[in-house]
Structure 1
Amino acid sequence: MRSTFMGLETSKRGMFTQQSALYTTGHNISNANTLGYSRQRVNMQATAGYPGAGLNAPTMPGFLGTGVEAGSIQRIRDGFVDQQFRGESNKLGYWESRTNAISQMEDVLAEPSAYGLQQSLSDFWQSLQTLAANPENGGARAVAVERGVAVADSFNYIHKSLSEIQTNLGKEIGVTTKNVNSILKQIGELNKQIAQVEPNGYMPNDLYDARDNLLDELAGIMPIEVDYEKSGGRALEIAEGTVTVKIKTNDPANPFITVVQKDSYSELSPVGNGGTDAEGNPKGPMTRFTFTGGPAEVNTINVNNLQNAGSLKSLTDSYGYVDSNGDTKGLYPDMLAKLNKMANVFADAFNTVHQDGKDLNGDTGEAFFVSKDGQPIDASNIGINSVIEKDPNKLAASTSDPNVTDPEVGNGENAKKLGDVLFNKLPGLDGSSVQTYYSGVIGELGVQGEQSIKMVKNAITLLGAVSNRRDSISSVSLDEEMTNMIKFQQAYNASARMITVVDETLDKIINGMGVAGR
C-alpha cells in the first residue's frame, strides 16, 4: 500500500531541487563579470520509484515516481577547448614578449632619425668634407673633432642603453620564474583542497575555476601538459580530481618534466653561465633552468631544449643564451656583437688612414679613435684621442704622398680619405661599408619587428577565436540565466501548489470524514 503522505514528500523534493537550481542561477548571475568563472548547473535526476525491488515489495499497478533530486552541481567546461586556449596563449606569450624586446631596442637605436648613430656618421663625414676644402681652418678642424666625439658618444650611448635593457630582461627572467613558482605552489594547494572535498561526494567548482585560471596563466609562460588523477572515496564520476602539470621540452630523452603532482610541487631557478645572483636572477647568458623539490626532485632543462613557446622562452632568446656550440646567441647579444664589430672595424680603418697623414704641424697623425679602458675598441669603450680632442691641429687632414699634387702640409687630401672610410668596403664588415653595414643591421631589426607584430596579431586573432568558443560554452549569459530563473521559479511554485492540493486532500480525509457508526 502506498503512503498517505507520499505526495507531500514528492512535492517537497521538487521544491528543494528547484530551490537549489534557483540558488545556483543566482550564483551564476552574481559572477557574470568574474574573470575565469564557469557557469554552473544543477544536474537533476528522478529519485527511485515506488515500490522498490524486493520479495517484500507490495504488489500494485504501475510504478509510482517519487520526485526529483539534485544529483550534482556541475560547472560547464570543455577540456579540449581549454587545451586549445592554452596552446594559443603559449604562442601569444612568446611573441608579445619578443615584440616588447624589439620595440625597446628600436627606441634606443631610433633609426631613421635626426639623432641616431647613422646621422652622427653622416654629420662626421660632412665635417671631413668641409675640412678637406679648408684644412687650415681652425673652426673646421674643431667641428670635425666634435663630430668624431659625437660618433663615439653615439656608440657608447647605444651600447650602454642596450646593455641596461638586457640586464632588465635578466631581472624579468628572475621575476617570471618567481611567478612560475608561485603558480605551481598555488596549484598544489588547490589540489590539496580539492582532494579533501571530492571524496565526500561534492563538486568544488569554484576551486576548479581557480585552478584553471592558474593553468591558463602558466601556459602563457611555459608550454604545459595537464593530466588528471581521481581522488577516490565517494567522489562523483564527473569530479575532475587532482591535476598533474608537466613542462614540455624538446629533449627526446626527457620530453616532460612533472612539476606538480597532487599537493607536491617543484621550484624553478634560472641559471646563467655565471650562475645565479642573490636575487635569483641569471648571471651571464642563460644556460639552463633547474627544477628542484617536489615531483621533479632535481631536473634540468637546457635552454636549447626549451620549446619555442611562452614568455619565458622569449625572454631567454632576447636576454641571451649559450647555444649547443658554446656560443652566446640572442636578440640583444647579437645586436651588441654587431655594434662592437662595427665600432672596432671602423675605428681601425679610420686610424690606419689617419696615421698615414700629417697634422697641421707636419707631424705624422696619431690614432684618432682609442679605447677608454685599455681593452680592444668596441661600442662600449670607443673614444677620441685626448691629444687630438684638446688640440684639433693634431687632426691629420693632409698627406705627404709624393704622388699627390701639392703635397704640402694643409692640402686636405687625407681628410678626403678619412671621409671615404665611411663608404669604403671593409673586409671586417663582410665586404660592406660602415654605412651599408649599419643600414643592414637596422633593416634586419625592422624585419624582425614587423614579423613579431604580425605574429602577435595572428596569435591574438586565434586566441580570440578560441576564447569566444570557450566563452560560448562556459561564460554566464544573463539572458539565459533570467530564462532559467523564471523556469525554476515556476517549477518551485508548481511544487508548492501541489503541496497545497495534497494538504487540502488530507484535510478532507482527516478532518472532514466522520467516524463510522456514530
Structure 2
Amino acid sequence: MRSSFFGLNIATQGLYTAQTALNITTHNIANAETNGYSRQYAEISATRALPDGSRGMVGTGAEVTGIFQLRNTYIDSKFWSMSTDLGQYKVKNELLGQLELLFNEPSDTGYNVTMGNVYSSLQALATNPAEDAMVTNFINSADSFAQYFNNIAKQMVNYQREANFGVKTSVTQINFIAEQIATINSQIGNMELNGGVANDLRDKRVKLVDQLSEIINIEAKELTDVNGKKRFTISINGQSLVDGNAVNLLKTVPRTDLNNPEDQADLYDIYWQSGKKLYLNNSAASGTLKGYLDVRDGNNSNNFKGNIDSIITAPAPGAPAIVVDNISRHDIPTSGTITIGKEVLEYTDISYSGGQITFTLTAAPPASVAVNQKVEIGEAVAYKGVPYYIQKLNEFVRTMAKEFNTIHKKGNNNTGTELFNFEGYTGAPPQDPLVEINDNFSYNQINIHNFSFSQDIIRDNSKLLTSATDGIGESANDLLLEMLNTKHDVDMFKKGKPDSFMQSLISELGIDSKQAASFEKGQANLTNLIENQRKSISSVDLNEETADMIRFQQAYNLSAKIISVMDEIYNVTINQLVR
C-alpha cells in the first residue's frame, strides 16, 4: 500500500529536479562569454514506477540522472585538422613575406639599382678608360654590388635562425601543453570514478587540444575499456604524446652536421625522449612547427644526391672510402654524414676527380652498402625555403664572379687577377683546395656571405685592367666592352641573362609569398566555418537559456504549489482524524 505522503514525496522530488536544472541554466548564463565553454544540460528521467495492484503502475516523479555538455567530437576533429593547416600557412606567410621585403624591389637600394650601377659605371669607364674618377666609380659600384649580397646573406642567416628558434619554441609549447593535458586527464579520471562527468575540466582539455593542434598535426581520441573506464590519448605520426596521465615528451637536439651547405650550424632536429627522431618531412605533417621547418630547411629537393660508383674497403695505405658519380651538386661540406638507404656513414674528407667525389669514411661501410645505391646528404625538402634561395643566390654570384674574372684575367697579356673573390682570399685562384684549377668546382668557395670585390684593386686602382694588351687611351677598353656584353648574355644562366635570372628568382619568391598569404586566408575562412559550426552546437544561446530559465522556474513553482496543496490536504485529513 502506498504511503499517505506519496504525493508530497513526488512534489518534493520535482522541486529538487527543477532547482538542479535551474542551477545548470544559471551556470550556462554565467559562462556565456567564457572562451571554450560548452553548454551543459540536465538529463531528466522519470523515476522508477511502483505497482498499484491490478490497476497497473504508478509514477513516482522525476530526477536528474546526469549533467552533460553539448559537444560534437567529429566537428572537434575537423576543427583540429583545419587549425593545423592554418598554423602552417600563418608561419609561411609571415616568414616568406619578410624574405620578399629583403630584396626591397622596387627601391633605391635593391638589386635592380645596385646591378644597374655596375653596368652604368662600366659603360662610363669604357668611354674613357684612363679617367681616374671613372675607375673609382666602377670600383665603388662593383664593391657595393658585392656588399649588397653580403647584406642579403646576413638577413638570410637571421631568418633561418628565427625559424630555428621557432622550432625550439614550438617543441617547448608542445611539451608544456601535453603535460597540462596529462594532468587534466588524471583529474577527470578521479572525478569520474563514480560515473559523473567532469564537464568543465573536459572543456579545459579541449581548449588545450585546440592550442596544440595549431602547432602540430595530432590525432586525439577518447577510448573506453571493457570496464567502461575512459582514457584520452593524443598521438603524433602514430607515436603517443599523451596516454591518459602519461606523457611522452619531445626534445630538440642541435645538429652536428649540415643538412645543406647553406645551413647555419647547430640547427635543431626533434627527437622523442626515447631517442627516436620525429620525422616531419612528409605531406601529412602540418602546423606552425611544420611551417618553421619548411622555411628553415626547404631546399626544393636540391640536396646532394649521387650513386655509388665503387667502394674502397681496405685501401693501402689510407682509410675506407666510397666513390660517387652522377652528382647533383658540388658545393658540399668537406666533412659530415652521408645517407645510403638506412645507413648513415660519417666522412672526414672529400676529393674530386673526373666528375666524381670520393668520400673518406671513418669506418668501413656495412655489407648492405653496394655499388649503384643512391647517396644523399641531408634531406630532400620539397619546399622553397631559406636554403633554396641562398643556393640560387650563390649560383648567381659564382657565375658573375667567374664571368668577370675570366675576362679580367686576359688583361695585359693574361696577367690580370680576379675582380671578384671571397673574404680571406690570399692570391690563389678562387677554388676549393681539393679541386683542379680548371675544374667546374673551382668557384664553390664563393658564396653570398663572403663574396667580395678584390681588395688589391681597391687599394691600388692601377690593377684594374681595361685591355688585353698594355695599350692606353680610349681604345684600350676591349675588356670593359666584353664585361658590358655579359649584361645581355642569354647563355650565361639557364634562365638567360643576369637580370632575367634575378628577376625570375625574385618573382618566384613573390609568387611563393602570395601563395602562402592566399592559403592562409582560405584556410582561415575554412577554420572559421568549422568553428561557427562548433559554436552552433556548443556555445551558450542566451535566448534559449532564458526560455529554459522560465520553464524550470515554472516547474519549480508548480512543484512548490503541489506541496502547498498537499499540505492543506494533509492538514484537513489529520485534523478530521483527531476529531
* Pairwise TM-score range, normalised by the shorter structure: 0.7 to 0.9
* In 2: Cα distance, 1:66 partner to 1:165 partner: 72
Report percent identity of matched pairs: 30
Taking the aligned partners of 2:506 and 2:96, their CA distance within structure 1 comes to 11
Q: Match of 1:377?
A: 446
> Offset at 1:117?
2.1
As a proportion of its length, which structure holds more helix?
A: 1
Matched, 1:312 2:289: yes
* Structure 1 position 273, deviation (Å): 3.6
Over 3 Å counting, the alpha-carbon distance change for 1:201 and 1:124 in structure 2 is same
Residue 60 of structure 1: CA displacement? 5.7
CA distance in 2 between partners of 1:498 and 1:431 (Å):
91
1:70 aligns with 2:64: yes
Residue in structure 2 matching 1:260, options 238, 242, 260: 242
SS class of match (2:3): coil
What code does the residue aligned with 1:217 have? Q
CA distance in structure 2 between the partners assigned to 1:327 and 1:109 by the alignment: 28
Matches of 2:531 and 2:565, distance apart in 1 = 49
What displacement does 1:308 show? Answer: 3.7
Q: Aligned with 1:463: secondary structure? A: helix
Report the secondary structure of 2:271's partner residue: strand
Structure 2: give runs of 5+ residues left out of the alignment.
Answer: 259-263, 304-338, 340-375, 426-431, 433-444
2:561 to 483, 497, 500: 497
Structure 1 counterpart of 2:187, from 186, 193, 196: 193
CA drift of 1:284 comes to 4.4
SS of equivalent to 1:212: helix
Matching of residue 348 in structure 1 with residue 342 in structure 2: no
Q: Which residue identity is paired with 2:484?
A: G
Question: Which residue of the partner structure matches residue 271 of structure 2?
Answer: 290
Q: What is the CA-CA distance between 1:104 and the residue it aligns to?
A: 1.4
Instruction: Give the whole-Å Cα distance in 1 for the aligned partners of 2:544 and 2:501.
Output: 63
Moved more, 215-224 or 313-322: 313-322
Inter-partner Cα distance in structure 2 for 1:8 and 1:121: 96
SS state of the match for residue 302, structure 1?
coil
TM-score by length of 1: 0.86
C-alpha displacement at 1:430, in angstroms? 2.6
CA distance in 2, matches of 1:131, 1:298: 62
- The residue type paired with residue 163 of structure 1 is V
Q: Distance in 2 between matches of 1:228 and 1:471?
A: 21
One-letter code aligned to 1:372: E
The alignment partner of 1:199 has SS state of coil
Return 5+ residue gaps in structure 1 as ranges.
52-57, 236-240, 249-255, 277-281, 402-406
1:397-424 Cα shifts (integer Å, max 9, x gaps): 34439xxxxx544433322222222332
In structure 2, what is the equivalent of residue 5 of structure 1? 5
1:252 equivalent in structure 2: none
Provide the aligned C-alpha RMSD in A.
Answer: 2.5
Secondary structure of 1:33's aligned partner: coil
- Do 2:24 and 2:42's aligned partners in 1 also have CA atoms closer than 8 Å? yes
Does the CA-based 8 Å contact 1:355-1:364 persist in structure 2?
yes
- For 1:300, which of 258, 277, 293 is the aligned residue? 277
Which of 405, 408, 415 matches 2:480? Answer: 415
- Partner residue, 1:468: 532
| 2:236 aligned counterpart, secondary structure | strand
Label 1:507 to 1:233 Cα distance change in 2 as closer, same or farther (>3 A). Answer: farther
Cα distance change, pair 231–207 in 1 and its aligned pair in 2 (3 A): farther
Q: CA deviation at 1:124?
A: 1.1
Q: Deviations over 1:315-365 (max 9, x none)?
A: 11111169773245451111111111111111121112122235xxx9954
SS at the partner of 2:278? strand
Q: Secondary structure at the match of 2:241?
A: strand
Choose the corresponding residue for 2:161, options 167, 172, 194.
167
Aligned to 1:368: 419
Is 1:141 matched up with 2:135? yes
Instruction: Select the residue among 326, 329, 333 that pairs with 2:387.
Output: 333
> SS where residue 240 of structure 2 aligns?
strand
Check whether the contact 1:45–1:68 (CA below 8 A) recurs between aligned residues. Answer: yes
Judge conservation of contact 1:199–1:231 (CA < 8 Å) in 2.
no
Does the CA contact (< 8 Å) of 2:489 and 2:496 recur in 1? yes
Q: Does 2:96 correspond to 1:31? A: no
Q: TM-score, normalised by structure 2?
A: 0.77
Checking the alignment, whether the CA contact within 8 Å between 2:216 and 2:285 is kept in structure 1 is: no
- Picking from 481, 492, 501, the partner of 1:437 is 501
Aligned to 2:455: 386
- Partners of 1:299 and 1:366 lie apart in 2 by 52
The corresponding residue for 2:117 is: 123
Whole-angstrom distance in 1 between the partners of 2:226 and 2:86? 37
Inter-partner Cα distance in structure 1 for 2:288 and 2:510: 21
SS at match of 2:515: helix
* Alignment coverage as a number of residue pairs: 478
What is the aligned partner in structure 1 of residue 411 from structure 2? 357
